[in-house]
A and B are shown apart, each in its own frame.
Chain A
């Protein structure tokens, strides 16, 4: 198996925002969802997840709340804020543009 692709800078933020746009989640669930969603291609170490979450919260894009978890233990649930929603839209649009452009270029060279 080839080495798992390192996440492009800033992509982790985008992924977290996207996941949280679906529903509020705690850190462990986010990490599980990440692995599952990206079909294990993108490897996000559990270690880098939490600093990213704290940064996003600091920036005001997500907010947190302590709630009982699925197994009835207290867990920190993150959810998207108004600003986070806007940020996600903007970043998603950016990403599409960027990947479309790259794809386009790659096709050109192959042709």
Chain B
């Protein structure tokens, strides 16, 4: 208690001292003056003469200034005083050399800005939790098949029920399925992306609506499921934030749905989802024969305290049980298994690696920036030798000098941090808006990429850290000054310059090391990108326009209705002048539109007992699709208008199937049957009429499964609701967009046309992730290269300036210009040779982490290393040559007289 009171009184005094500094100073002065006066009086009384008494008294007290300082120290206020003094001094010093200040602030702002930008991405994607309750407990439950060999396989409705009812590791298990509906009513028809979800979906995520309620189990039944929950964005955009939306009716695909509730913003995942409706499985959907119908994503919420490994262990047991229960659906040979994976990790995906690599890269950029600034400060400290020596000779001690120089550094870094945040603010906006949504739609917090408290705190710490990194070395060096020597020193002499320059040479070498690593990293990404673009996609992209459409279920319930709509619209589109050919396809390559897989029989091929039927990806295509996309015909023919529901059933296979099953024979005229089309026990045989080229479907960097096609006029099961139009034009395809839209609108104005893109754009967007990291890393490497150029230039220019005298003598006694050039450029070359060889070693060690970002390029790619080395050496020579050339022009007479 006492202690507290005392502390409070001390604090009060301290505050008092701070606020009434003038008064305190005056009192201190008065007090000491009074002492002096009394002492003088005392001495006078003892008979000492006036003048002598004054001296004696002053001697006894010592330096007044020093006493005051000590008293202030005792009040522990001095540091604030000093800080204010130092700051004032720093502001004046920096203002006196605006060029230097601008260079330093700009250099550091680039480094800090780049770091802040990348950190704002990391913050949003890796640090900020997903907007769900306890996101760490969310898992994806998926099926793994040895035959498909693709991760994250979907599950079937009956298997979902098993997991929901039998698995004990989860609080809830839910399934969802993509849902694309046509919203009509007021305004333009609009295609809305949504989810059909089982009733447990929202409990799994742990989210609650802001208005109304969620759907319940009673609504998750066929017939009762005409209800929807809508997203905040849709509510605002389409319903004008109507507070009475709950209970209102909306028309989706021609049927009436009742709005149950509105979800808060930010819980959409993928981000384009704007609507949720109960999935309403029928007894038929859940029946045993539907085990093969794997169309749903299963998500679960782990019970508290259950780890993913524990859940996986339980599912391993369940895998065996289910295999035993349904041996037909899950034969042992299929290697079928249930897997559990963390949803968080899955959604972040490759972003983690890319972001961490970029974070490392910007760290290097900042280090290079710091080295440059340290170099500048070192040069300046040398120039300020005399000033500092004077300050020391009149009583400043070393710590005081260091503190003052650090304050200057701090001021610089605070300025740079401010500009850096501004820079990051705008670049975060640019990144947020330019990266295609396809890349980021699983990043729930993508819209929050920007400067928040986390990022701001990061920048503050970073700025302080940089101040220490670039400020400490020069400050210590400056304080090591020999007062006497420095005061006598004149410019132009070279004594004791080499030691200091040695330090600067070291700094420049380390810059070269760092920039080399960055250049190698970006070089590898560029090489990967070039390689990828050279991949043969299996089709021709020039002059091809694509757009997506979806037919409202109410009016286009049967395949005949759908097929006839497409047939009529394609006929009219092909009649538009400038159109070469037009087709529709169920899944467009590289458009991230998913893939439909199915097994098939080949007539005459008998399977071994343990052998599984062939398995591939199937599409539904109109006759001219292949011509429109430029997929080559290898044998036989394309589909024609004559391949209809009443004609002979046909199919087209790709050359991979042909090579695999008819390595020497001719597949044309042979028959195959698709499991999906099996009617009861009888296979539905289709005659193979054509062989076309294999197409890269999932990505240029991903091997696609073998593919087969069925004619749209001849395919019964549903699946032609959402098709892609593919239109090849004779000239620029963009100009055809209005005409094509017009054709569709004239046929049916409720049919929306969306995602209009040229095929070139589709291909380019499929590479968006890679482009993103490649461009950013290249920008960073370029910035680093420029900084290094400046660093080398600065070093050589400075040494030219310092060695003017010496160079003058050399020229005077007959050194040729080239000898002088060689002397100076040679130094830069030596430094860069050392830097490049160390950097190459470091790159070999560091770029290994990038393996996951590369395509068909080894991390030790000799071409990249060689190119980068040559580039860097060239830059170093240029940076040294420019100032060195000036040195050659030194007039020896002027140089020798130069002070």
Residues of A that sit less than 8 Å from B by CB:
26-28, 31-32, 45-47, 50-52, 54-55, 57-60, 66, 69, 71, 73-76, 83, 86
Contact = CB atoms under 8 A, between A and B. Distances in A.
Interface residues of B, number: 29
B813 interface: no
A27 B74 contact: no
30 contacts: A27-B35, A28-B35, A32-B42, A45-B60, A45-B62, A47-B67, A50-B31, A50-B32, A50-B71, A51-B70, A51-B73, A51-B74, A52-B74, A54-B71, A54-B74, A55-B74, A57-B13, A58-B10, A58-B14, A58-B75, A58-B76, A59-B10, A60-B13, A66-B27, A73-B37, A74-B34, A75-B34, A76-B34, A83-B5, A86-B2
Nearest to A56: B74
A76 B27 contact: yes
A59 B76 CA distance: 11
Given A26-B31, A47-B66, A83-B5, 15 more contacts: A27-B31, A27-B34, A27-B35, A32-B42, A45-B62, A50-B35, A50-B67, A50-B70, A51-B67, A51-B73, A55-B74, A58-B13, A58-B76, A59-B6, A60-B9
B71 A51 contact: yes
A86 B2 CA distance: 11
Given A50-B31, A76-B30, A60 B71 contact: no
A83 B6 CA distance: 8
B60 to A, nearest CB: 5
Given A50-B71, A51-B70, A83-B2, A28 B34 contact: yes
Identify the interface centre among B30, B31, B41: most chain A CB within 10 Å of its CB.
B31
Interface string B7-20: 00110011000000
B587 to A, nearest CB: 80
B634 interface: no
Contacts of B9: 60
A73 B34 contact: yes
| 7 closest cross-chain pairs (CB), A and B | A51-B70, A55-B74, A47-B62, A28-B38, A54-B74, A54-B71, A60-B6
Contacts of A50: 31-32, 35, 67, 70-71
Contacts of A86: 2
B607 interface: no
B541 interface: no
B10 A46 contact: no
Nearest to B76: A58
Contacts of A54: 71, 74-75
B31 A76 contact: yes
Contact of A28 (B27, B39, B74, B75): B39
B644 to A, nearest CB: 101
B893 interface: no
B61 interface: yes
A75 B60 CA distance: 19
Contacts of B2: 83, 86
A75 B13 CA distance: 20
B484 to A, nearest CB: 28
Contacts of A66: 27
Nearest to B17: A58
Contacts of B5: 83
Contacts of B13: 57-58, 60
B569 to A, nearest CB: 89
A26 B10 contact: no
A19 to B, nearest CB: 16
Contacts of B73: 51
B76 to A, nearest CB: 7
Among B10, B37, B71, residue most surrounded by chain A Cβ atoms (within 10 Å):
B71
Contact of A46 (B35, B41, B71): B35
Contact of A60 (B10, B27, B62): B10
A47 B27 contact: no
Interface in B603-637: none
A46 B70 CA distance: 13
Interface string B311-351: 00000000000000000000000000000000000000000
Contact of B30 (A58, A60, A74): A74
A55 B77 CA distance: 12
Contacts of B74: 51-52, 54-55, 58
B747 to A, nearest CB: 90
A70 B75 CA distance: 28
Contacts of A75: 31, 34
A70 B60 CA distance: 22
A30 to B, nearest CB: 10
Nearest to B9: A60
B77 to A, nearest CB: 9
A74 B5 CA distance: 30
A57 B14 CA distance: 11
A27 to B, nearest CB: 5
Nearest to B62: A47
Contacts of A60: 6, 9-10, 13
A46 B60 contact: yes
Contacts of B14: 58
Contacts of A83: 2, 5-6
Contacts of B76: 58
A83 B7 CA distance: 11
Contacts of A52: 74
Q: Point out which of A45, A50, A74 has the most chain B C-beta atoms below 10 A from its C-beta.
A: A50
Contacts of A46: 35, 39, 60-62
Contacts of B60: 45-47
A51 B38 CA distance: 19
B37 to A, nearest CB: 7
A73 to B, nearest CB: 7
B34 A69 contact: yes
A47 B62 CA distance: 6
Interface in B1-58: 2, 5-6, 9-10, 13-14, 27, 30-32, 34-35, 37-39, 41-42
A105 to B, nearest CB: 34
Contacts of A27: 31, 34-35
A54 B75 CA distance: 7
Contacts of B34: 26-28, 69, 73-76
Contacts of A28: 34-35, 38-39
Contacts of B62: 45-47
B498 to A, nearest CB: 45
A38 to B, nearest CB: 17
Contact of B61 (A26, A47, A71): A47
A60 to B, nearest CB: 4
Contacts of A74: 30, 34
Which of A52, A69, A76 gathers the greatest number of chain B CB atoms within 10 Å?
A: A76
A75 B71 CA distance: 17
Contacts of A71: 41
A28 B40 CA distance: 11
Interface in B389-412: none
Contacts of B42: 32
Nearest to A75: B34
A68 to B, nearest CB: 11
Contacts of A69: 34, 38
A64 to B, nearest CB: 9
B327 to A, nearest CB: 87
Contacts of B67: 47, 50-51
A7 B60 CA distance: 17
B228 to A, nearest CB: 71
A103 to B, nearest CB: 32
B81 to A, nearest CB: 14
A51 B78 CA distance: 13
A27 B27 CA distance: 13
Nearest to A30: B35
A58 B5 CA distance: 13
A50 B832 CA distance: 60
A107 B646 CA distance: 128
A24 to B, nearest CB: 14
Contacts of B30: 74, 76
